[in-house]
Every structure is written in C-alpha cells, then in structure tokens.
Structure 1
C-alpha cells in the first residue's frame, strides 16, 4: 500500500497514544455533514470502541441524512454535550476551520487536547495535532493512513469506504488516484459491499426525491451561452413536497453533466431569504475561490456557501465571477 509521506510516524504515534490515554473523547465534523464527514466521524468512533468498548466517545454532529443511518454508531450521534467537564480529547474531522464546527466550536476549544484531520486546501491548520493533506481524496483516506490496518474492523471499513465513495463521486472525480483504488480494495477485503453502499447512499432515491429532481431539472436555466446552468428550490416548495436538504442530494451533479456546461449552481432556501448554494465545476472554474468570496469553501471542483438574498440577485452576483474564470480559458 502506498503510504502518505505527509504523515510522520511521530504524529501517528501521538495520535494513538492520546486515544489510549483519554477517558472522554468527542468527535465532530463540519456543519451540514456529507458522506465523507459522516464516514470519518463514525469510522473513527468504531475504531476507538473496537480497541476499548469501555471508552466514552461522543459524536457531536448536526443531523445526518437517513441514508447513512445503517452505519455503525449512527444512533450515537448527538446534537449537544451531555456533561459539564471538558473532553480529554476532541477530534475535528473533514472541517476546514474551527468556525465550520458550528455549535461545537466552543467545546473543541475547551478540550484538553485537540486533533484535526482534514483534506481541504483552505485549511490553514488548527488543533494541537494536525493531519492535513489537500492531495488526499477525502478525510477518510487520511484516516486510513493513520489507523492500524490490521485493527480496522468491518464497521470501520464500511464507514471509510462510504466517505471515499462520496468525495470521489463514486471514483470518477479527478481526486481518484491509484492509491484511492488500492485503499478501496483493502476495505473491500474487510467485507465491505460496494454495490450496497453505492446504491443505498448514492443512487437510490425515493419517489418524492425523484419528483424534486425532475422539477429542478425542468426549471433549470442556462446562462453565458450554455456554459452555466442553475436551478433553485424555494422553501415553500420543499415544505409542499415534505422534503429536507438531504433529499436534494444529486441534483447539482445531474445539472453538472449537462452537455456544454462548465459550471453548475444549485440553490435551495434554508430559511426565508437565505439560500444554500452548491457549485460544481467541469474543469474550467475553481469554484472554491468563488464560494470563499461568500463566506463558504470546499474544493476546486466542488464547493458551497450560504448567501442572503433572492435567487436572481445571488445568481447575478456569482455568474460574473464564473465568467471571469471562463474568459481566462485555463484548466483548474
């Protein structure tokens, strides 16, 4: 297996020693947790409890998608701390900065020792111990490099595989490397079923989810001679269909693969006048740079932000920034 040269033996040794010494451990990821975030948090929890079932491990996350509920320890996820004492050890996973921990930032800062594991290029480094590799496909890939392979159980392997699948777009994004495929193969050897994980968490949709996908596609609009496509879902429509944000997974990716499109935008209204904006690039636009201008972040080809305003004004604010990059004619 190809090793991660950015991870030192000393750092890995400290990682494992801190787990062994800690009595109270917390694990958190970014707000609006996606597959990599959930997989990393639950996978690390499973790994720690496999080593010592008596450990106290709290997983503090915002509510996760129902499609991830089959993962081990998903039922352990909490939205608030249950005791007063600071944690001995606190993990921040798949989080580019402390602010992205949301309501759990203060708990992280109060902990006696903190560890950050992340693959976002915008991560400037935080925590007492840091494992940050922007070249990694996912936080789950970095975790695989840190954990002792022989001690990775089926439960941990399934979580890590899910995280890798989601952040590589089922192994089709440019971050899919030979190493990623080797890790995926090693996790399959642990008993992971790729067909189950990919179908259940990536492709399978409810009837209502298909309806909202169809509506988003029907109402999509092309801009800049077809190089930009966008669609938006208002809160009143989400309430009408009885859907939540997790039901919108896949909309942005379907918009992105429209012929001739270089950049896709998908907006959904979280509260009145506040929209979550997802951006996807086909190689000519660095959407991370655009998202960061609106207080968000992410990766070169996949990013997001939350913006106040109406759909027209938001799109009119973002599209010129996309146009500027397209005019440069460079690959990102």
Structure 2
C-alpha cells in the first residue's frame, strides 16, 4: 500500500525519528515531509527531531523541524515514526506518539520492536529512505524529496559500499538521480567534508585507538573533557567509527564517547560475522547486524570490558564452528 492511501480522514500528521538523527533518519523524515506537503497540501505536517548535523544543510526546509517540543502535547491524527526501532528511541517525541490517534512505523532495523499500531519493517531495505521510496508514488517524487531520500541511502550504505547495498538499492539511487539529484554534492558535503576541528578530533581518536582480541577488534574512546577542550559536540563525531572500521584485519570497531559524567554512547561496526546488533540490544540499544549502538553507564574501563567480552564470545563461537 502507498503512503497516500493511508491518509483517509487524516488532517494532522506528526513525523519523527530516533534520537541523535543521522542521515537516514533526517533524510526519511524530511523526504516524507516534502512528499506529503506537495501531494496533500491540505494536511498539516509537523516534523519533530533533535537538531540535525550542519552537513545536511543541502536538504530543503530543515528550518521547519521542531527541535524544541511543547509540553502541551497535541493529539495528532497520525504519527509517522521513521528509522526508529523502539518507542523510547523517539526521545522527546514519545508523548506525541502516545497521544496520536493512529501510529505507523517505517523502519529497516532488525531490532525493531514493532511498537506502532501499524508496522512496515523491511529488513531487506538498505535504509528507511529506500523503504520510503517504495511507499511513495514514484511519479510524485519531487527533487526536494529525492534529495532527502538520496541522503539517507548514501549514509546507511556508506556511499554504496556496505553489504546492505543491493541491486534494488542501486536502481532506486539511479531513479533519484533522474530527478535531478546532485550526487557529488550530497556525498561530499554530508559524508566526506570535515571542518578543521572535526579532522582534529578524528585524528586524536585514531591516534589513541588500540587493538584487542588478537587485533580483531579496534577501540577508541573520547571523554567529555576532551570534547570540551576541542570545542566539539556529538555532531562532530560522525565518521569516526567508519574510519576505525576500515583498519586492516579488524573484524569489529568500537567507538565510545562520554555524553554526561559516566554516561556513554557506544557505536559498533562489524566487517566479519559478529552480529553487533545482538550486543547493542543486550545493553538496551539496537541497530543492524553490522552497525549498531547503545548507551551505557559506569566507569569507562567497565564499559569497554563489557562490550569487548560480548565481542569475544561471538568470536570464540565462530572459531568453534
């Protein structure tokens, strides 16, 4: 069923995604915003997200995103959850979700808990943006919508190099290019381009990384104190985990940064057969088999040891197989 067919009697729609929105979350939310605005202009459409990366500024109408949510929650006719695996990952948008008359979840994460009234979870899709292309009417996709979809596909496939890139992914990307999308601009500005400070913090994380588990796992950590010293925020840390992942011989990369005193965000990437989503789910997070994350509390060395222990268990089981 197409998205427009799901809007019978709907007059107000709220759109949101997961906390700390990445390219796929931002892209799918903004693509849906543009698509509905252009094809159902009589419907009120509101987007609720935490502030997004400045590197996504080529996407139109980011200033329309509500980043500060009111305490007086409205009762929307429909809440669309995009690229979010569980209700708690909606963050401050959770009360809006809970007060909506109807809810639909569009996602592609294996850890999705199917928390909405209607759930469209496609594990075969490279990204939620790829899934949204399928539920949009292709001939009604504008350039604005296509740019947002392309952003999400680019980010969740690592510029088409991750194993989740399929023939269908490339076909859809080609169709988006035919809409006028400037591929080089989106890829360079949102994926590769770094500020001087971002390059500095990337360099420091690489310099202080270390190998464990017979050099099969690489780990890098970043304290809040160091982030404050460089004047960077979590939005400046994009790409660090991906650079760690491409270290030769490494099967799993782990990047941990401090968000508050003894509170951490953990990102994991796998090259081999380790299922990092299982580890993330164990610690209350989620994601994909080869890309997942979670939040943890405690001393940094305890967080590192707990994560490494779970990676080690999977590696040992592989050796026994």
TM over 0.5: yes
Distance across 1 between alignment mates of 2:17 and 2:316: 36
Which 4+ stretches in 1 moved above 6 angstroms?
none
Q: For 1:160, which of 149, 156, 159 is the aligned residue?
A: 149
When structure 1 is superposed on structure 2, of 66-75 and 161-170 the one drifting more is 66-75
Distance across 2 between alignment mates of 1:314 and 1:209: 25
Q: Does 1:36 align with 2:17?
A: no
Which residue is 2:192 aligned to? 203
Which residue is 1:227 aligned to? 216
Distance across 1 between alignment mates of 2:283 and 2:118: 29
Q: SS in structure 1 opposite 2:296?
A: strand
Which residue is 2:97 aligned to? 108
Task: Describe how 1:177-326 pairs up with structure 2 within 5 A.
Answer: 177-326=166-315
Asked whether the 8 Å contact 1:45–1:73 carries over to 2, the reply is: no
For each residue in 1:109-135, what CA deviation from the matched residue of structure 2 results, as whole angstroms up to 9, or x when unmatched? 211111110101122323232211111
Asked whether the 8 Å contact 1:252–1:266 carries over to 2, the reply is: yes
When structure 1 is superposed on structure 2, of 230-239 and 62-71 the one drifting more is 62-71
Which residue is 1:119 aligned to? 108
Asked whether the 8 Å contact 2:73–2:96 carries over to 1, the reply is: no
When structure 1 is superposed on structure 2, of 115-124 and 40-49 the one drifting more is 115-124
Distance across 2 between alignment mates of 1:324 and 1:83: 47
Shift of 1:82: 8.2
Task: Give the root-mean-square deviation of aligned CA atoms.
Answer: 1.4
Distance across 1 between alignment mates of 2:288 and 2:64: 29
Shift of 1:284: 2.4
Q: Does 1:73 align with 2:41?
A: no
Q: SS in structure 2 opposite 1:205?
A: coil
For each residue in 1:26-78, what CA deviation from the matched residue of structure 2 results, as whole angstroms up to 9, or x when unmatched? 10001111110000000000001111344321100111111112212211111
Q: Which consecutive residues of structure 2, in runs of 5 or more, have no partner in the other structure?
A: none
Asked whether the 8 Å contact 1:268–1:277 carries over to 2, the reply is: yes
Which residue is 1:61 aligned to? 49
Asked whether the 8 Å contact 2:58–2:186 carries over to 1, the reply is: no
For each residue in 1:81-114, what CA deviation from the matched residue of structure 2 results, as whole angstroms up to 9, or x when unmatched? 4865300111000111111111111211211111
Query: So what's the TM-score if we normalise by structure 2?
Result: 0.96
